[in-house]
Amino acid sequence: MSDIAGHGDAYKWSFWAITEVEPHLVAILRNRVLNLPDQRDEKAAQAAVEALKTPLQVLDDTLTGRDYLLGKSFTIADLNAAAVLSWAAMMRLDLSGMPTAQAWFQKCLGREANQKVRTLK
């Protein structure tokens, strides 16, 4: 990622995560967990789950034949996208329909640095 194109791609995936994925995850979280029970809207949560399928398919397609978003090395793009997707794991969303993205996500979560951060108190 030492060239200008690599930097641009890192920004692209970071913005992708916060604009294409995060709003749907927040809608699910609000309507299934955060809002008071009488203010939750399961239809809105389910619509967000459905809306997530398109960006997650883009992720899955992009990762086909790659170890990470920008190629063979873990970069800030992977860190940012996986951090946003960690909300999906917390909400136990089914990612099995995107096996390549799911494997990438597990690889990101399994990194030693991530394990250390998750065990800090």
What are the tens digits of pLDDT across the range 9-64?
999 999 999 999 999 999 999 999 999 999 999 999 999 999 999 999 999 999 99
**Of 5-14, 57-66, 67-76, 111-120, the least confident:** 111-120
Residue with tokens 């970069």: 75
Question: Which tens digits make up the pLDDT trace of 75-97?
Answer: 999 999 999 999 988 888 888 89
Closest among 107, 88, 110 to 97, alpha carbons compared: 88
What's the confidence (pLDDT) of residue 63? Answer: 97
**DSSP letter string over 45-89?**
HHHHHHHHHHHHHHHHHHHTT-SBTTBSS--HHHHHHHHHHHHHH
- Give the structural domain span for 88: 4-119
Closest among 88, 28, 52 to 106, alpha carbons compared: 88
User: Residue 60: which CATH number?
Assistant: 1.20.1050.10
Quote the number of domains for the chain: 1
CA–CA dist 98, 1 (Å, integer):
26
